[in-house]
Structure formats: C-alpha cells, structure tokens
Amino acid sequence: MTSELAPEPMATDAALLEALRDGWREAQTVFQEMFPGPVSLLEPVVGITDLVELLPDTIAVGMRFEGRSPGLAALSLDCTAARALVVSLLGSGEADDAEVLSLLTDTSLELANIVLNAVLAEAGRALSETYRFEVPALMTADELAVPYGCRAYLLRGEIVCGEALPAPAQVIIRRASSGERGR
Amino acid sequence: MAMVMEEPRRRSALIIDDSRVAQMILGRLIAASGWEASRVAGGRQALAYLEREQPDVVFVDLLMPEMSGLEFLDELLRRGYRLPVVVLTADAQESTRRACRRYPIHAFLRKPARADVISKTLDSIPVAADDI
C-alpha cells in the first residue's frame, strides 16, 4: 500500500477519528463473538488519506450508506485470513476445500456487514447522524478509489487467526462522489 | 394396557437471512437450544413458507436484497399474521429499532448472534395455545 496517512489530522476530524477507533474496538468484540477459534483484531493506525489502494490478495467488501452525508464504507481483508475465518466457522473437522471456497465470499460479506455497521454506528453517534445502508457487495480498488478532491478515513490494522502471522485488515470510509449520490 | 406417550413437538424457528453464514451460525445456536430451525434466503421465500408451515418464531435480518426485513414486516401485517418475530440485524441504530415498531416484534437483537442471547430469547417465546 502506498497511501499516506496524514500525520496530524485536522482538529475538526479528531472527534470522528476517535469515534472510528471506538468502532474498531466494537469490531474486535464482533470477531470474538462471531468466530469460535482464537481470532483477534490488532489496534489500527487511524488517519485521513486521499489515496486508498488495496494490497494484493485482499478481498474487499463495500457498503454504500445514505444519510445527511452519504458515502461508502469498506472492509478489506487478507484472503488467507478470510479463509482462516471460514475454517474457524466450519470447524476443522468439517472444512473441505470446496465448502471453504463456497463460503469465502459469503463470510466476507457478512463480516463486513457487521463490522462496518459497528464502525458507522460510532461515527453516526459522533456526528449525530443516522444512516440507511445498502446490501454489502464485493468491490474493486477502482470502486473504492477516493474521488478527486475528496478524502477518506482509514483504519489500518491487522487480524490474527489462530497461529497464523498477523495479516492486513483495513476499514475505509469516504463520502460519496457526486456521481454516486442519489443512485 | 400399555400407554403410548406422544413425543412433545419440537418447537421450530424460521431464519430469514440472505447470508448462508448468518443462517448457519444462527441455525447452530437455535439447534443447541433444542429447537428446530428452517432457513430461507429472503422475505418472499419466507412468505411462501408461512403459507404451509407455522413456526413458533421467525428470525429476520433487515438488510436483504429484493425484499428488506422491514418490507417483510409490512407484508406480515398486511396478511394479518401475528407471529412472534425477532429482528436480528447488524444495524442497531435507534432509528432502525424505531422503524421496526411498525410490527409488534418480540425482540430486536444485534448481530452477531450470541448463544446466551438466542437461548434466552427462545425461552421467552410463548407456547402456542394448541401446544398446551
């Protein structure tokens, strides 16, 4: 990833960034409740960027939201970590390759739904906003790209599944571009 | 004369969620409480199911393609159903909770489903009059 986190976010963004941190903590709880195996989400680096890129071998799920400030939230996860999460859900005795593969997308969609809702709920509380969500969908790097002149809030952390090494996990939140509004 | 004891009917739940994973997680928790669980992927399939079966409780997600959970609740009202409904959603905003009050829902729960909460919720579902 080449995106740069702003070292000193603007003061007006401080409350929102703190809310997003709280949302990430909520997401940590979600992971522990949802997966029977040992899964942990490590503390993220939080910041503002105008350039969002996906690492290779990541799966990204985006969810558009409507409200006073419509936008797009996304969760991207390392594919190996996503696969480990499916195996954790199925239980080691039940997990065959075909079943794991067939549930990989579905697990990522459901996980993104829960995590992004947790993060946006905190953001909404901080901004006194409520949101209506669209059904989550797999997204490409192009769809997640920050429109010219806009910024995105980025939480970049790591996920640890069982004995595996920490793998990248990030949450991206950005305002809708003018072309995306009212779709 | 030997008396034949009838097995009590297992209580049943219908899960409405477009996510197979969410269905699987909730289905396991319901089964662990000794209930039967049937699963459908959306509101339309659920309405078709309800024409032939009578579950003791319905668990419904809100964010689904084609027919949302709120549209499903509207349709239940329109058709005159009075089933216990539990909303299980990732969207726990107060505005969403309020929107669900269009139907007298039994409970509003936040995803992911937790074993203790599901067990307690199932215990609180009233027994149908014809089962007593």
Which domains, and CATH codes, for chain B?
12-114 (3.40.50.2300)
Distances in Å between the alpha carbon of A148 and those of A49, A122, A180, B57, B96?
12, 26, 13, 49, 33
Band of pLDDT at residue A8, cut at 50, 70 and 90: very low
**Quick one: pLDDT at residue B84?**
96
B1 vs B115: CA distance, rounded Å: 44
Helix (H, G, I), strand (E, B) or coil at A150: coil
Band of pLDDT at residue A1, cut at 50, 70 and 90: very low
Q: Given the cut 0.85, state whether the ipTM is greater than it.
A: yes
**Quick one: pLDDT at residue A37?**
77
Is the pLDDT at A93 greater than 70? The verdict is no
Which residue range(s) make up the domain with A167?
10-175
User: Nearest to residue A107, comparing CAs of A161, A175, A174, A44?
Assistant: A161
Q: A133 and B112: CB-CB below 8 Å? A: no
Under the phi-then-psi rule, with left for phi > 0, alpha for psi from -120 to 50, and beta for the rest, what region is A182? Answer: left
In chain B, residues 21-80 whose CB comes closer than 8 Å to chain A: 21-22, 24-25, 63-65
pLDDT digits (tens, 9 = 90+) for A99-123: 888 899 999 999 999 999 999 998 8
Find the mean pLDDT for residues A166-170: 91
Rounded to a whole number, what is the distance in Å from the CA of A129 to chain B's nearest CA?
A: 10
B13 vs A39: CA distance, rounded Å: 30
The DSSP output letter for B38 is E
Q: Which helix (H) or strand (E) holds A181?
A: none
Domain count, chain A: 1
The DSSP output letter for A7 is S
For chain A, what is the mean pLDDT? 84
Radius of gyration of chain A (CA): 16
Spell out the residues 6+ positions from residue A160 whose beta carbon is closer than 8 angstroms to its own. A38, A39, A40, A41, A42, A166, A167
Check: CB of residue A127 under 8 Å from CB of residue A69: yes
| Number of cross-chain residue pairs from A and B with Cβ atoms under 8 Å apart | 47
Spell out the residues 6+ positions from residue A182 whose beta carbon is closer than 8 angstroms to its own. none
pLDDT tens for chain B, residues 1 to 132: 667 677 777 899 999 999 999 999 999 999 999 999 999 999 999 999 999 999 999 999 999 999 999 999 999 999 999 999 999 999 989 999 999 998 999 999 999 999 999 999 999 999 875 655
Minimum mean pLDDT range among A89-93, A135-139, A162-166, B119-123: A89-93
Q: Which residue of A has its CA nearest to B17?
A: A110
pLDDT digits (tens, 9 = 90+) for A119-147: 999 889 888 899 999 999 999 988 888 88
